[in-house]
Amino acid sequence: MGERLQDVAEEWRVTATATPFTGNKTSVRTDDVVMPDGAVARRDYQVHPGSVAVLALDEQNRVLVLRQYRHPVRHKLWEIPAGLLDVPGENPLHAAQRELYEEAHVKAEDWRVLTDVFTTPGGCDEAVRIFLARDLSDAEGERFDVSEEEADMELARVPLPDLVTGILAGELHNNCLVVGALALTAALAGDGVEALRPAQAPWPARPFEV
C-alpha cells in the first residue's frame, strides 16, 4: 500500500497586499505572490472567517436538511445546518451546536468531526468543519427567531441513501451537504463512525481553545 496523501501548510512570500473591499462578514484581499520561478503574480481572493456545518443523523438514519434561497446562485438549495464562526478563535463545536439549535431547534448528544474542507481554495480562504451529530432530540425553550432568507426556510428529514442518489444525479448541489453525505457514506462503509475524530479534534485551519 502506498503512502497516504496529506495536504501540508505552506506560505509563499508576499511582496505587497491590499484590501480593496471590506464587507459585513468577509473582505477581498489582493496579494502579490512570488512564484517558484521568481515571477510575481497578483492573486485576488475572499477573506472568510470560517464556517461549521452539521450533518445531523436521527435514529432512523435520516439526515436533517433545510431548504434556503441562495441569491448568488439564484437557487433554493437543500442544505445541512451551517453558519459562520462569528468570533475569532470560537470553538467550532459550540458554533455547530448553536447553528443546529437556531436553524432546526434540535440538540444532539453525540458529536464527532466528519471532515474538514476548504470550499473554494482558488478564490477564497474559507475553511469548513463538518460535524456528525447523533442522538437527536428537540431543543428546549422557544424557537430562535428567524429573518431574511431564513424566514422562508423549509425543514425535512431524508434517508441518507436518498441524498446520495440526488447528489450523484446532479440534483443536490450544496457543498457541505454533498461532502457531508458522501463522507458519512464512506465512513459507514469503512471503519464506522466510531473511528471518526472526536468533536474537539485540532483544526489547524482555524485554531481554537477547548
Residues 6+ positions from 50 with CB-CB distance below 8 Å? 84, 85, 92, 126, 127, 128, 129, 205, 206
| Listed residue (141, 138, 118) closest to 129, CA to CA | 118
Helices 160-168 and 175-189, packing angle to 10 deg: 120
Q: Is 150 a catalytic residue?
A: yes
| Listed residue (130, 132, 118) closest to 176, CA to CA | 130
Contact status, residue 133 vs residue 113, Cβ threshold 8 Å:
no
150, 154, 194, 209: which one is catalytic?
A: 150
The span from the CA of 32 to the CA of 15, in Å, is: 6
102: how many CB neighbours lie within 10 A of its CB?
16
> At CA 18, angle to CA 13 and CA 20, rounded to 5?
145
23: how many CB neighbours lie within 10 A of its CB?
9
Active-site positions read 150
